[in-house]
A = this chain, B = another copy of it.
Amino acid sequence: MSRVYRLLEPGPVVMVTTAQKEQKNVMTMSWHTMMEFEPPLIGCVISNGDYTFNILKATKECVIAIPTVELAAKVVRVGNTSGRDIDKFKTFGLTAIPASQVRAPLIGECYANLECRVADMALVSKYNFFVLEVLKAWIDPAQKDPKTIHHRGKGVFMVAGDTIRLPSKMK
């Protein structure tokens, strides 16, 4: 759990799943930041216009799933549509896998999945800003060099490039 920050700190586009009654949904999101190492806290903005917003407020559970560049086209389609209109898992061929701590599903195609519960809603009414606590983290060990995607606006994405190492004292 103390290494979850390494997944999100570089700023990847992620998908957020929720579930309510029999219905599950997924959205695309990239306004997020780590807020604490352990237990890992994540702050994120989910617009009150998004279908996910009220579900997350009500259920207080979600999964943050991190896709790689191979999924980029699907990630964009997820972002272009609303769960009000379609079942995005079915429409885009994403595999919903039961999570262990929350009702929101994992996404089988993503290289990492973080099961989260809402820890703080103090800034929701003013900024649509949720603080999430990561309860459980899954990583696909088969993906050795996952290339995340990073949104630059209007459908332009940067794909994760080379890795460099420097003598940092940072955690």
Contacts and interface: CB of A to CB of B under 8 A. Distances in A.
Contacts of A92: none
A127 B129 CA distance: 13
A163 B171 contact: no
Interface in A48-89: 69, 72-73, 76, 79-80
Interface stretch (A31-39, A94-102, A103-111, A134-142): A31-39
Range for the number of chain A residues in contact with chain B = 35 or more
A6 B34 CA distance: 19
A76 B168 contact: yes
B9 A150 contact: yes
A93 interface: no
A149 B43 CA distance: 21
A28 B170 CA distance: 9
A16 interface: no
A80 B170 CA distance: 7
One complex includes copies of this chain to the number of: 2
Contacts of A127: 35-36, 41, 43, 131
B36 A43 contact: no
A143 to B, nearest CB: 15
Given A127-B36, A127-B131, A170 B151 contact: yes
A80 B160 contact: no
A165 B155 contact: yes
A126 B73 CA distance: 38
Given A10-B11, A127-B41, A166 B35 contact: no
Q: Which 7 A-B pairs have the closest CB atoms?
A: A11-B11, A161-B161, A155-B168, A10-B150, A33-B33, A6-B153, A76-B166
